[in-house]
Structure 1
Amino acid sequence: MLTRRTTHTTLALAASLSLAGALAGCAAEAEDSAATPPQPTTDASSSGAGDGSTDTLAGDAGTEYSDGTYTAEGSYQSPAGQENITLEVTLAGGTVTEVSLTSDATNPSSKQYQGQFISALEGAVVGKNLDEISIDKLAGSSLTSIGFTEALDSIKSEARA
């Protein structure tokens, strides 16, 4: 004869085993999806040509850019408030040959971080293909890269051949 305590213990054990089995199944599924990264897709119907060809996706290494010097502004939110920067990039064959970044920061902390970013920028981008440039943090400055990326994206759009 089962007592009430034995019944509760048995039900609790069964629920625990059921939960453990479900979690193990989820873990295996997550592991499988992590092992196979998602593949980018292109939609041939989005091409204006109507011939089944696909457009080159923005940011692909195959994007062609017109040679020249381009200027764009970028901004970001810092603890001191809105900060603005101006990026100037010279391109030849899709490769950055010259770069300059100017700041209008008045906050001493913002000036310091932007100055560190600016001093390391040339070595990080000159000689690189425009599509290969991706900066999250440079010379200890992580927020300036937000404005830099915004300005760089504008330049990419303008320079597309």
Structure 2
Amino acid sequence: MTALSKKMTAAVGISLSAVITGCASTDADEPSSPSASTNGAERGSSTYADGEFEAEGWYGNLPSSIEVTVTLADDRITAVKVTPRATDETSLGLQKRFAAAVPALVVGRDIDSVRLDRVAGNSGTPKGFNEAIEKIKAEASG
């Protein structure tokens, strides 16, 4: 490998890392990836009931919403579906891109470690997603 190709490979790795980091974030107090402290099976019991849960999340100045369906097993998200609810084409396009990106970011993670920030060019839609996740956690813990 030439010196130039090594530099290019390093630059691509840094750029990819920045893009991935910018897509989703977790709270500073929470680990960015699942660990023993967030795995219900390793704690010995689950915090949340297993099953499929659905909630609507609202966000924005002109209230927009998305529907979020999550399947939980041992506190981990095993499946997720985001259903766009926007009525105008621009918002609908953003919600569709968000919905397509979310599964790769949250499936397999402990639900308590999931908090999205900016995904697929969306900064508002993740707020609705996070609200829906909080509602789902409340329902699954009751």
Bucket of the pairwise TM-score, normalised by the shorter protein: 0.5 to 0.7
- Equivalent of 2:86 in 99, 105, 118: 105
Which one scores higher on RCO, CA 8 angstroms, separation ≥ 6? 2
TM-score normalized with structure 2 length: 0.66
SS at match of 1:123: helix
- Equivalent of 1:138 in 113, 119, 140: 119
Aligned equivalents of 1:104, 1:67: Cα separation in 2: 26
Amino acid at match of 1:76: Y
- Equivalent of 2:47 in 51, 64, 67: 64
Offset, 1:74: 0.7
Hey, what does 1:127 align to over in structure 2?
108
List 4+ stretches of structure 1 deviating above 4 A.
Answer: none
Count of residues paired in the alignment: 101
RMSD: 1.9
Aligned equivalents of 2:88, 2:66: Cα separation in 1: 13
Aligned equivalents of 1:157, 1:104: Cα separation in 2: 22
Offset, 1:69: 0.3
Amino acid at match of 2:104: G
Aligned equivalents of 2:122, 2:93: Cα separation in 1: 9
Hey, what does 1:49 align to over in structure 2?
none
1:83-133, Cα deviation, whole Å (9 max, x unpaired): 111100000000000100111211111111111110101000000010111
List alignment gaps of at least 5 residues for structure 1: 1-38, 40-59
SS at match of 2:100: helix
Aligned equivalents of 1:131, 1:104: Cα separation in 2: 25
* % identical aligned pairs: 39
List alignment gaps of at least 5 residues for structure 2: 1-28, 30-36, 41-45
